Amino acid sequence: MTGRSSIRGHVAIVTGGGAGIGLAVVERFASEGARVAVLDFDEGRGAAAAERARGLGAEALSIQADAGSRADAGRALSQVLSAWGKAEILVNCAGGFTFTDPLEELAEAEWDRIVAWNLKSAFLCAQQAAPAMKRAGYGRIVNISSQAGREGVLETSLPYSAAKAGILGLTRRLAVELAPSGVTVNAVAPGLVLSPRVAELHKDRLPQIYAQIPMRRAGEAAEIADAVWYLSTPGSAYITGVTLDVNGGRFMC
C-alpha cells in the first residue's frame, strides 16, 4: 500500500520503544512496513521489541541508549544513518516516573532525572534527527506528553507533570521553527494506559481512576499508537504544533 496513509519504507526512531506505549508504536510501525530503530536504555527490552518488529516483517534495529544523554542520542542517530542512510520519523516516547513524592520531600536529583528522561530527551533526540529529516525531505516528530501535562493530577510525580507540560511548549515552538522545511512536530497526550509500570503504580486505586474516565476504562497502548501513526503519515502534513488528547474523555481542551 502506498499513498497518504502509508509510511512503508520510512525510517522511524522510537525512544522508549522497549515497553508499553513505545512498544505498541514499534509494532504498529512495523506492521505498516516502516523500518524501526528501537532506542531503550533496557537492552533486553529493546532487543525483544526489535525482534517483534522483525517478526512482523519489518527491518528493525535495537539501540541501547539513554535518550536523555546527548552522547547517546548522537550515537543512536549515527547507527540509524549507517544502517539505513536516513531518518524521517522520531517518536519521543522515553519517559515515565516511579515516585510521587510531595514537594517538601522531593530530592533535587529526582527532579533532574525525571526532567531529563521526559523533556530533555525530546530536545536532544529532535536536535539530532531534524537535520536528517530535512535532508530526507520528510519529517515527523511526535512527542509523547500526558494528561498530567494538561492539568493537575495528584497521583503523578511533580517533575513529571512539569516535564510533560514542557513537552507541549517544546512541541509548539519547534513546530514553528521546522514548519518551513516541512517537518511537523506534534504531541500526543495519553490518559491512563496499563503498561506494566503504570499497572503496578496504580494497582490500589484503579476503581477510583476509572470513575473519573467517561469511558470507564484504561486506554490500550495500541490506541495511543494509532494516534502516533496518523501524525507520522504523509496525510498529516498540514497538522503541526497540536496536542492530541487520547484519554477516553477524561480531559478535553
Ligand X SMILES: NC(=O)c1ccc[n+]([C@@H]2O[C@H](COP(=O)([O-])OP(=O)(O)OC[C@H]3O[C@@H](n4cnc5c(N)ncnc54)[C@H](O)[C@@H]3O)[C@@H](O)[C@H]2O)c1
Cβ closest to ligand X, residue 195 vs residue 240: 195
Write b or e for each residue in 161-187: b if 16 or more Cβ atoms lie within 10 A of its Cβ, otherwise e.
bbbbbbbbebbbebbeebeeeebbbbb
Residue from the set 77, 80, 129, 192 that interacts with ligand X by CB under 6 A: 192
**Least CB distance from residue 47 to ligand X, whole Å?**
11
Grid coordinates belonging to 243: 496536542
Residue from 160, 210, 230, 238 carrying the catalytic annotation: 160
Binders of ligand X: how many residues, by CB under 6 A? Answer: 31
**Least CB distance from residue 192 to ligand X, whole Å?**
5
Cβ closest to ligand X, residue 138 vs residue 224: 224
Q: Binding marks (x or -) toward ligand X, 9..28, rule CB under 6 A?
A: ------xx-xxxxx------
Please say if 160 is a catalytic residue. Answer: yes
Q: Binding marks (x or -) toward ligand X, 116..135, rule CB under 6 A?
A: -xx--x--------------
Q: Considering the rule CB under 6 A, would residue 165 count as an interface residue with ligand X?
A: no
Q: Considering the rule CB under 6 A, would residue 159 count as an interface residue with ligand X?
A: no
CA-closest candidate to residue 96, choices 41, 151, 28: 41
On the 0-12 / 13-18 / 19+ scale of CB atoms within 10 A, 102 is: exposed
Cβ closest to ligand X, residue 118 vs residue 232: 118
Counting other chains too, the contacts that 80-84 makes at CB distance below 8 Å and 24 or more residues apart are 80/11, 80/13, 80/37, 81/132, 83/37, 84/11, 84/35, 84/59
Write b or e for each residue in 61-79: b if 16 or more Cβ atoms lie within 10 A of its Cβ, otherwise e.
bbbbbbbbbeebbebbbeb
Name the H helices within 102-205: 108-115, 121-136, 158-178, 196-201
Residue from the set 29, 41, 123, 229 that interacts with ligand X by CB under 6 A: 41
Q: Considering the rule CB under 6 A, would residue 240 count as an interface residue with ligand X?
A: no
Residues 73-112 that bind ligand X (CB under 6 A): 93-96
Q: Considering the rule CB under 6 A, would residue 50 count as an interface residue with ligand X?
A: no
Cβ closest to ligand X, residue 48 vs residue 136: 48
**Least CB distance from residue 147 to ligand X, whole Å?**
6
Outline where DSSP puts E strands in the chain: 11-15, 35-40, 60-64, 89-92, 139-144, 183-190, 243-246
Residues with active-site annotation: 160
Kindly list the residues in this chain that would bind ligand X in the complex (CB under 6 A): 15-16, 18-22, 39-42, 45, 66-68, 93-96, 117-118, 121, 144, 146, 190, 192-193, 195-198
